[in-house]
Amino acid sequence: MPTIGWFEILIVVAIAIVVLGPKDFPVMLKKAGSWIGTAKRYVSNIQNEVSNLEIDDEKINDQVKKETKKDE
């Protein structure tokens, strides 16, 4: 899998400054940062929900095992 190094990032930033202009570049960075933050929070919430489902599933399995031992 190809990796992105500092040189590639520098080229992308230079092209973005030329295309957008120095005045609009900081605005674009702020919007991109906001989108990235929103995506990270969304992924984190999903990971937490999946983790909670796994914990709930383990608790249910433990309760079922206890009940089956009591019935025996």
pLDDT one-digit tens code per residue, 10-69: 999 999 999 999 899 999 999 999 999 999 999 999 998 888 887 777 777 777 777 777
pTM value surpassing 0.75: no
pLDDT score at 30: 95
- How distant, in Å, are the alpha carbons of 21, 27, 29, 34, 38 from that of 13? 11, 14, 10, 18, 22
Q: What is the pLDDT of residue 54?
A: 78
Gyration radius (Cα) of the chain, Å? 24
Check residue 1 and give its pLDDT: 62
6, pLDDT greater than 90: yes
